[in-house]
Amino acid sequence: MAFCKLLLTVLVLLHNSGLLGNEVRSSIIGAEDAQKERWPWMVHLNMTSSGSNRVKWRCGGTIVAKHWVLTSAHCLANNPDHRRSFVTVGAYQLQKAAKSYMAIANFVPEFDYQDLGNGNYKNDIALIKLKNPIQFSKDVAPVDLPDKDDTFGPSAECWITGWGEVGNVPLPDPETLQQLSISIMPRSTCKKTYPQIACNTLCGANSKGRDACKGNYGGPLVCRKGGKFLQVGIMSHGSPGSCGLANNPGVYTAVAKYLNFINDYVHFSENPSAFLYCKVTAS
C-alpha cells in the first residue's frame, strides 16, 4: 500500500513535470467522444477525503432514482467527506456550464464489501444518497436495471462511458465524456486470467488493450436489450495495478446480482408508504 502511494506520487510528480509526455490522450483507452444526451444517467463523482490532508479523486456513477446514485464501493474507500464531495449530473463536457452539482446526504457501501488485495474487490457496489432530488430532463435521466435472470454474452452490444484518465494522464479540456464499445467475455476465459476473481462479476474483453482506467471506476457497463440500454455492470477494476494491458479484461460488478441491495434502499426511500407494509408493530 505504502509502495503504491509512493509510486503514485512519483507518477504525479513526473506527470506534473511533463516528463511522461502527452502521447496518451483518451480517458478510456481506445475510446471516442460520446454523443451528447446518449447516456443521460452518467454522473461524475468529485470526491474529497475527510481529515486535513484533503485527498481528491474522481469516479463515475449512474442515476438510479431521484435521490440515488449507483457506483462502486471502492470509490468510497478513501473515507470521503460527504460535505466536501459532490455529484455532477447533466454533464457532457466537465469544464462547460450545462450541469448541476448535487450535495450528498450519505454513502451506502454494500455491507459485505471487501478489498481482496491485488486490485480485486468483492461486492464492489455502493449507493450514494443525495440531499435533494434530481430534476430529470432529456439529458438527465435514470438508467434501467436488468432483471435478475437477464444474461448478456459476447454477442450483446455493450458500452462503457467515463471521464477518467489513463496512467495519470487526465482527459484534456473540455473533458468530453468518452464512450467505448466493449464485449462481455465468457467467465471461463476470464478465469484463466483472474483465477481468484470475485463472485458476481463480469469481464469485458479488451483484446486491443481497450479498457477502463483510473477515474472511470464506478461508471456503468450498459448493454442493449430490445430498444434500450440496461446497466449490466459497474466498472470495478482492470488488470492488477494497471489497466489497458492486452489480454487483461476489465472486471465489472454484475448489477443483476445486487437488485435486492439496490431495491432495499432505493425503493423504500422513494416510496415511503411502502414501509407501512413491513413495519413491525409492538403489541
Ligand X SMILES: *[C@@H]1O[C@H](CO)[C@@H](O)[C@H](O)[C@H]1NC(C)=O
Residues at the interface with ligand X (CB under 6 A):
46, 48, 88, 94
Looking at the chain, the number of H-run helices and the number of E-run strands are 3, 15
Q: Are 237 and 68 in contact (CB under 8 A)?
A: no
C-alpha cell at 41: 444517467
**What's the CA gap between 250 and 154, in Å, rounded?**
14
CB of 218 to ligand X, least distance (A): 14
DSSP state of 80: B
Whose CB is nearest to ligand X?
46
Q: Are 123 and 113 in contact (CB under 8 A)?
A: yes
Question: Which CB sits closer to ligand X, 77 or 94?
Answer: 94
CB of 80 to ligand X, least distance (A): 11
Name the residue among 93, 79, 225, 91 with its Cα closest to residue 152. Answer: 225
CB of 84 to ligand X, least distance (A): 7
- Reading phi first (left if > 0) and then psi (alpha if -120 to 50, else beta), residue 84 is in alpha
Question: Which CB sits closer to ligand X, 54 or 148?
Answer: 54
CB of 34 to ligand X, least distance (A): 16
**What's the CA gap between 14 and 20, in Å, rounded?**
6
C-alpha cell at 13: 510528480
Question: Which CB sits closer to ligand X, 82 or 210?
Answer: 82
Question: Which CB sits closer to ligand X, 42 or 197?
Answer: 42
Question: Which CB sits closer to ligand X, 47 or 65?
Answer: 47
CB of 178 to ligand X, least distance (A): 14
